A and B are shown apart, each in its own frame.
Chain A
Amino acid sequence: MNRILNIMKWEFMVRFRSKMFLISLFMPLIFMVFSIIPAMLMDKGGDSEVKVGIVNHAEHIASKFKNNIGNKYQFDDGKPKYWIFDYENFDEAKTALQEKTIDAIMVIPAGIMDTSKSKYFARSLSNFKVIDELRNTLSHTVILQRMENQGVAVEMAESISKRVKMDTFEVNKEGKLTEGNELMVLLGPFFFVFLLVMAIFINGQLLLRSVIEERTNRMVEILLSTVSARELMTGKILGLGSLGMVQILFYLSIGVIFGMVKGIEIVRFDELPILFIYFLTGYFFFASIYATLGTLFDNEQDAQQSMTIVSIIAMVPLMGSFYFMANPTALVTKILSFVPPMTPFMMILRISSDAAEPWEIAATVVLMIVSVWGMMTLAGKIFRTALLMYGKRATLPEIWRWIRA
């Protein structure tokens, strides 16, 4: 036990102090920031003013549209968001767009009242928010005009055409309401699965590297004369596991701080213990695979291919996370929850979306503990034999023989 503890401490300290660890700690964060910030920006819409050129062939509409958009979209300081410029013809507007004097062109055709058709041009169509606001306002303007043409009073037209607003709330188990938007609600579970995948990948890779390193520098001979192969493997897995815990706690605190700033509950503290069980079992399951891979290959390049296969299995729940969260009771979601390599990811997604039955939680926890035990036993057998094999790649029949030995 003492020896395992010593190996664990060493593995932890060696990696903890390395530059690689610092880099690996911030890499996922940067990755996360880059994948989420654009979504958030899109949601917020640009805070800068937008210059829109209008090529108008329908007399009344353009001026009313100008009024409406001016009234509706203003910055906090009262300055309008949209600046409207009139153009005689499209070519003139197009030149202005190309020269960046304006950001977009709206063409309002003469027959808009009947056809309900208009055109929008911009250098890029990526700003959905702007397009949305312009379209809504134009649409609203046209509808009002139609009503007016039918003799409906302006005030009445306004009140008839008023759109319905819908605020969204999330209700948790205790019946507490949280106001939020859909993106943010999905963020929590995604965040957890992302953490687990990162912890497994980063530490799995470190574990593999550490095994290969000790094999190539032959420290393994000195180590094995003092500790058993099983103790060595366990110590390494635990050492890098605690490193993974440090990473997770780091990300978790960032998540909590981020959540507090944004006023949303990313982490539900009552769910933490069960989430940690899935974290741990998931990590141990994959770690024993990575440790074994380290004994089967003489360098990282050779190991890369098999590592990719392992990684893809772990990636499936992450890639499909939005589907699984949207359909937490779908058959495929339920089935994948009981496939051991994916269980932890799937269950974290489902628990965070409040879609897991208590019996499912109990059953999958038992399933994971049994699979981890089985995996570690299997890995231990291969590890012991393959650790001292050099130069010669183990074949599958050989591996099978070691397992049965």
Chain B
Amino acid sequence: MIQLQSISKYFEEVTAVDHISFEIEKGDIYGLLGPNGAGKTTAIRMMMGILEPDEGEIIWNGHSINREDRVNFGYLPEERGLYQKQKLKETLQYLGRLRGMSRKELNSEIDKWLERFDFTDSADRKIEELSKGNQQKVQFILALLHQPEFIILDEPFTGLDPINQVLLKDIIQEQRDEGVTFIFSTHQMEQVERLCTNICLINKGRILIEGPLSKVKEKYRKHAVTVKYEGDLNTGDLEHFIPEFQLENGELTGVLKTPTTDFLDWLNKQVEIISFAHSTPTLEQIFIQEVCSAA
């Protein structure tokens, strides 16, 4: 559906995005991950047409993407803000019209979403009178008001209470079931594990990991370990085997970067091993492991 073909973006001497390629299928929720300053926002801005790539091409449904295609895109930017002095409903109407919605279609969609988010009584209130969390919901509505085929959500959950997080998640899944494609960018790994089928982890403008979440986890399964032990562990040497580890109540978890046997030989000399198991790593562990070893 959308395909990034080796796109790059340079700002003066900085390479923000360095030959990134991936493809997203229709109806997918694609997780775009990476530490701060990895180049996620720049990549998103290029997909949204806010910035032009310096190299490479973005393909939409088989052709080079153009502005008309992007009218069917929805976007929730990470940096948020709205017209504070304007009324909720009028702001929605303005952006809906800008995206070419007819008056009738626009009004019925607005009513639908206002009701869904319990905003019906606030329709004529000024944005500045809404709480921060509510303003964020308004921006979420803005991203999908015009029934886009492709929606980019940059940190949609931050600042929302658990009830609203669930509401958002439900809506994202409903939309996905109707065939809407999502790019979901966040630092909250548990949300990615819950929602995404495919992920792409980038750092310093380059792709570190890309592919289906299940396969990524499978690949790391052999490396992720959980060890219960007794005795004192020399943590300085431990970093040689597991760069980023967690130690809690005599339980060690982390992702190995050396063969398992080497690690066990070393460990056996240090402490008494009570149990040892390969575990499925969390995405958070994979993220930390990859970003740290790339650094």
Contacts and interface: CB of A to CB of B under 8 A. Distances in A.
B142 interface: yes
Given A6-B98, A222-B95, A222-B142, 5 more contacts: A217-B82, A225-B50, A225-B73, A225-B75, A226-B71
Q: How large is the interface on B (under 10, 10 to 19, 20 to 34, 35 or more residues)?
A: 20 to 34
Interface string B74-103: 010101111111100000001101111000
Interface string A207-226: 00000010011110111111
B104 interface: no
A219 B81 contact: yes
A312 interface: no
Contacts of A218: 77, 79-81
B67 interface: yes
Contacts of B98: 3, 6-7, 223, 226-227
A222 B152 CA distance: 11
A402 interface: no
A382 B109 CA distance: 37
A395 to B, nearest CB: 11
A333 to B, nearest CB: 44
Main secondary structure of the interface of B (DSSP, over half): loop
Contacts of B97: 6
Size range of the chain A interface in the assembly: 20 to 34
B94 A10 contact: yes
Interface of B: 45, 48-51, 67, 70-71, 73, 75, 77, 79-86, 94-95, 97-100, 142
Nearest to A213: B83
A126 to B, nearest CB: 45
Contacts of A213: 83
A2 B95 CA distance: 13
A218 B75 CA distance: 12
A159 interface: no
A222 B77 contact: yes
Contacts of A222: 75, 77, 95, 142
Interface in A219-243: 219, 221-228
A18 interface: yes
28 contacts: A2-B100, A3-B98, A6-B94, A6-B97, A10-B94, A14-B83, A14-B86, A217-B83, A217-B84, A219-B81, A219-B83, A221-B45, A221-B48, A221-B50, A221-B79, A222-B77, A222-B95, A224-B48, A224-B50, A225-B49, A225-B50, A225-B73, A226-B95, A226-B98, A226-B99, A227-B98, A388-B45, A388-B51
